[in-house]
Every structure is written in C-alpha cells, then in structure tokens.
Amino acid sequence: MRNLLNTGLCGFICLIIGNSAMASDKATNAYDFSFPSIDGGEIDLADYRGKAVLVVNTASMCGYTPQYTGLQALWSDYRADGLVVLGVPSGDFGGQEYADDSEIKDFCTVNFDVDFPMTTKQSVRGEDAHPFFKWAEAELGSDQAPKWNFHKYLVDPNGNLVASFATRIKPEDDVVVSAIKEALSGS
C-alpha cells in the first residue's frame, strides 16, 4: 500500500512539473501565464489584456533595491494610461530576498511605498524558473535572460514581449520610459 501511495504521489508530482514545463513551450504570448499573488490568489496576466505590463524580478537586499522607487513612480505615472508594474521577488541571485512573502511585502511597503502588484517569491532562471521567465528567454534568447535582480521585461497590450532591460538600466531611464510610452500608444 505504501509503495502504491508513493508511486501515485510521484506520478502526480511528475504530472504537475511536466505541465509547468509544457506551459512555457506551448505559450503564444504573456497572457498564457499566471503567478501566485503575494496577497493571495492568482495574478493572471490575461487579466491585463489591453495593458502594457513591466515584469521585474526584484530583491529586497540588493544594491539595486532602490529601483523600487523608480518602479513605483512608473506605476503611479502611467497606471491610468494602462501600465501595470509586476514585481516578481526572487532569491536566485545571491539569496538577496527574504524567505517569507509577508516579510517581502512589509519591506516593500514600509521602505518604498510599493502598491503595484507583486507575486510570491519565484525562481527566474534555470530549470526551476517560473514558466513566464522560461518563455521570455526562449522568445528573446539567453542573452536577454535575467543575469541579476531587477531585470525588466515589457509586454505590450497584445501580450507580446517587446523589450528587455538589464539590471543596470533604471526604471526611469529614457529607454524604458520611451518603450512604455510606445507600447501604450500601440505604435
């Protein structure tokens, strides 16, 4: 009986893992993905159809953490125009993120007044990466995959991945703001 239970459990786990891996292989655009929300429930990117989405892998204890200020400013300045900023906390680079989602949320709220949507802590690189990040790497190439915290992907209102910005490029930099404005204008 115990072997049967173990076999069933292993089969279920393989099914779940297999479906996650296949999700990024079969994806046609960003609307095919969802994330667990740091507030509970799911963040389904399909709910953002018609909006531009800036997906950013974040970390609370990184030299680039002050970029939260720029991300919050983008959210405040362009939210009414159709921009969504989505923070995806990750400890993949130097373990620079809290282990507990409530600590992450508290840190972001207290220190940076973050009120844009955030996911639970996720992996953003390698075999364990969230399917969105696997898809983004497959779409744009491994040279556009996150190399550190605060890598940014811009999704247009049709769900297409249209830009990738390295860590060192700040949210308020002209190249990011121009790409967001272009995505929002539909040109």
Rg (C-alpha) for the chain, rounded Å, is: 17
The C-alpha atoms of residue 151 and residue 92 are separated, in whole angstroms, by 12
For residue 27, the model assigns a pLDDT of: 79
Write b or e for each residue in 133-165: b if 16 or more Cβ atoms lie within 10 A of its Cβ, otherwise e.
bbbbbebeeeebbbebbbbbbbbbbebebbbbb
DSSP letter (8 states) at residue 121: P
If one counts the domains in the chain, the total is: 1
E strands of the chain, at which residues? 34-36, 42-44, 52-58, 83-89, 152-155, 161-165
62 among known catalytic residues: yes
The parent domain of residue 21 ranges over 2-185
The C-alpha atoms of residue 6 and residue 34 are separated, in whole angstroms, by 29
CATH number at residue 46: 3.40.30.10
pLDDT-derived band at 26, boundaries 50, 70, 90: confident
pLDDT-derived band at 186, boundaries 50, 70, 90: confident
The C-alpha atoms of residue 34 and residue 31 are separated, in whole angstroms, by 8
Provide the whole-model pTM: 0.86
Which of residues 171 and 24 earns the better pLDDT score? 171
Q: Of residues 10, 14, 62, 108, which has the active-site annotation?
A: 62
For residue 12, the model assigns a pLDDT of: 42
pLDDT digits (tens, 9 = 90+) for 79-132: 999 999 999 999 999 999 999 999 999 999 999 999 999 999 999 999 999 999
